[in-house]
Amino acid sequence: MSRQAVVDRYFMEHRAKLLDVAAFLDRVERGGAEGDDFRMAAFRRAVAVLAEPGASRARRILELLSDPTDTPIDSAAGLKGAFGAYPGGETPA
Amino acid sequence: MKYIDPHIHMISRTTDDYQRMAQAGCVAVTEPAFWAGFDRSSPRGFFDYFTQLTEFEPARASAHGIRHYCWICINPKEAEDPVFAREVMSFMPEFLERPTALGVGEIGLNKNSRNELTIFEEQVALAADHDQLILIHTPHLEDKLKGTRLIIDALKSRGDIDPGRVLIDHVEEHTVELVLDEGFWAGMTLYPDTKMTPQRAADVIETYGQERIWINSAGDWGTSDPLAVPKTRLEMQARGHAAVTIDRISFDNPNDFLRQSGKFLVDA
Ligand SMILES: [Zn+2]
């Protein structure tokens, strides 16, 4: 698809998604003045990637949200799900 | 139009879903053995599950004109206890011999632990010993990239695994190239919350090509959509992709991979 065709087809949908992100950030602020947990810290870094030049933004954001270590953890006992961002030692509230 | 959904957990879906999938053009599904949302209390629970996958579910599907095939394994979410996992593995071979069992899967990693990796490696060995195809589950979210790397390293370190007989599933933009570059097949899962959308899947095909790649719904007991494959076909059609490309991703590619089992058969 041409650049113009992509914009014509998807602009309205992604305008709405952009507003969802903006409203989500507002909602977080309204929830109190305490600092971000590791997920929101990662989210804000990911939002900054959106404004960077070049393609592969989806890939770069996924990498930014990934566990960067390369050795297996000692045990998965009691762990099933994932958080969506790498705690890096912290655990979510 | 005909399509194959090569990864869907039909035991969690209703007969209405079979009917809707058939109406949308689904002619075959393959169902990997996985976690049921809760841990089974004993290895015998898997014996019953494998019986359901190989006996009851093919009959339920065929009432709607859909061929049902399956994969057999101990899944990574229940692989943390090696004693338990090995007991399940002890009766896998008898189920792998069944006429609709296509191979070992979906094995892989969940939290990237040592025990998960050990049981993954033992099941790869079991697959190699029995000349089986392998279907691999990669972890979700922040665990996916690391898990995909660990899985690829483990497969390559053996030296006897033909990557053309291994499909690594749930790839996203940050893992698809790792998988394809090593000669493995890649699966894209159209799962609303944690994996891919039809739009992103179409983007990946436009970026990385149509070789050795398929799409699936991974429909299960969670928030998922058993019609995700036909929806992605429509997305590609709306973007102007040729019918031959759309058929390749959603019919010919899965057919080519699955036929290597010697059991998968679907009318073209
Ligand atoms: Zn699955």
Q: What is the ipTM of this complex?
A: 0.94
From A32's Cα to the closest Cα of chain B, the distance in A is 27
Q: Does residue A30 share a domain with residue A6?
A: yes
Tell me the pLDDT tens digit for each residue of B112-130. 999 999 999 999 999 999 9
**Residue B112 and residue A72: Cβ atoms within 8 Å?**
yes
Query: Does a structural domain hold residue A87?
Result: no
Report the domain count for chain A.
2
A-chain CB neighbours of B117 within 8 Å are: 72
**Residue B139 and residue A59: Cβ atoms within 8 Å?**
no
Written as six digits, the tokens of A70 are 């390369």
Beta-carbon contacts of B126 under 8 Å, excluding residues fewer than 6 positions away, are B89, B92, B93, B104, B132
Walking along chain A (93 residues) 10 residues at a time, the average pLDDT comes out as 96 97 97 90 96 94 97 93 84 44
**Residue A62 and residue B113: Cβ atoms within 8 Å?**
no
- Per-residue pLDDT at A89: 57
- The answer for B29, left when phi > 0, alpha when psi is -120 to 50, beta otherwise, is beta
**Residue B110 and residue A9: Cβ atoms within 8 Å?**
no
What is the span of the domain harbouring residue A62?
Answer: 35-66
- The answer for B133, left when phi > 0, alpha when psi is -120 to 50, beta otherwise, is beta
Q: Does residue A26 share a domain with residue A1?
A: yes
Q: Does residue A30 share a domain with residue A1?
A: yes
Q: How far is the CA of B170 from the centre of ligand 1 (A)?
A: 9
- Per-residue pLDDT at A93: 41
Contact B231, B225 (CB under 8 A): yes
B-chain CB neighbours of A38 within 8 Å are: none
Residue A12 CA neighbour count, 13 Å, CB half: 2
Q: Does residue A28 share a domain with residue A15?
A: yes
> From A75, which residue of chain B is nearest by alpha-carbon distance?
B113
Query: Does a structural domain hold residue A61?
Result: yes
Q: Does residue A41 share a domain with residue A30?
A: no
CA B174 – CA A59 distance, rounded (Å): 5
Q: Does residue A40 share a domain with residue A30?
A: no
A-chain CB neighbours of B150 within 8 Å are: 70, 72
Question: Which CATH architecture does the domain made up of B3-261 adopt?
Answer: Alpha-Beta Barrel (3.20)
Spell out the per-residue pLDDT of chain B, length 268, in tens: 899 999 999 999 999 999 999 999 999 999 999 999 899 999 999 999 999 999 999 999 999 999 999 999 999 999 999 999 999 999 999 999 999 999 999 999 999 999 999 999 999 999 999 999 999 999 999 999 999 999 999 999 999 999 999 999 999 999 999 999 999 999 999 987 777 999 999 999 999 999 999 999 999 999 899 999 999 999 999 999 999 999 999 999 999 999 999 999 998 7
**Residue B200 and residue A79: Cβ atoms within 8 Å?**
no
